[in-house]
Amino acid sequence: MTKPPVLILGARSDIGKAVAHKFAALGHPVQLAARNASNLEADKTDMELRYGVSVSLHDFDALATDSHEAFVAELPELPRVAVCAVGLMGQQAENERDVAAAARVMRSNYEGPTSILAILANRFEDRGSGTIVGISSVAGDRGRATNYVYGSAKAGFTAFLSGLRNRLSKRGVHVVTVLPGFVATQMTEGMDLPTKLTAEPNEVADAIARAVERKKDVIYVRPIWRLIMLIIRNIPERVFKKTKI
């Protein structure tokens, strides 16, 4: 039996590529969506040869929100699973001083992802089936001085996914919120990350595939992050504002 297609938004990212390989290995046709998607031709050929599935390339710009309706309409087939791996961390120091840089981070992590997922959600709802996976961040669990621009956008994205899940839970559409914690990717390259708290892209991909199969709602890729963020969320504000975390 042919398995349904999986759409990867932000397919050029390390996590996006890992997720694409995971679902292709499970026998799913994969739709890779990214800016200048033709540059992913080598990845397409590799997956087709390695896994024996069809792989298609689709130009997608998360920030060009006026193109999102047409993007979905032009897909060769409405996917059964859509995974949004779009994101941009930026530099907090730059974001504090450059309004345009901050806006790009906020748009990349909230406006763009919510725009495309809202459209897909409506299509999935009309069909009565499908799974939406949004990769958010533990940074959205509480604003911290070290990354509050990025964190605030992820907080909004997490809230959006929660509301979408609440709205669609009785319409046959499943929504998964993924909170990876630290991940060893190009985006975090050069950062001094604690090994025990840092996942690999393949680890994130495995967790996403399990969540889709088991219909999980919210997952922390490494469970220790659930405890860490519980503690951070419950630090009294008068104490928290004096911390450097």
Is residue 245 very low, low, confident or very high in pLDDT (cuts 50, 70, 90)? confident
pLDDT of the residue at 177: 98
Q: Does the annotation count 150 as an active-site position?
A: yes
Average pLDDT, the chain: 95
Domain ranges for the chain, please list them.
6-240
Condensed to tens digits (0 to 9), the pLDDT of residues 47-68 reads 999 999 999 999 999 999 999 9
Catalytic residue among 51, 110, 150, 220: 150
Which of 71, 19, 70 minimizes the C-alpha distance to 203? 19
DSSP sequence for 163-204: HHHHHHTTTTEEEEEEE--EE-SGGGTT----GGGEE-HHHH
Closest CA to 25 of 222, 218, 219, 202: 202
Position 190 pLDDT exceeds 80: no
109/140 Cα distance (integer angstroms):
11
Q: What is the pLDDT of residue 2?
A: 81
34 phi, psi to nearest 5 deg: -165, 165
pLDDT at residue 46 above 90? Answer: yes
pTM, two decimals, is 0.94
More confident residue, 56 or 189: 56
Phi, psi (rounded to 5 degrees) for 178: -110, 125
Architecture of domain 6-240: 3-Layer(aba) Sandwich (3.40)
Find residue 133's DSSP bridge partners.
83, 176
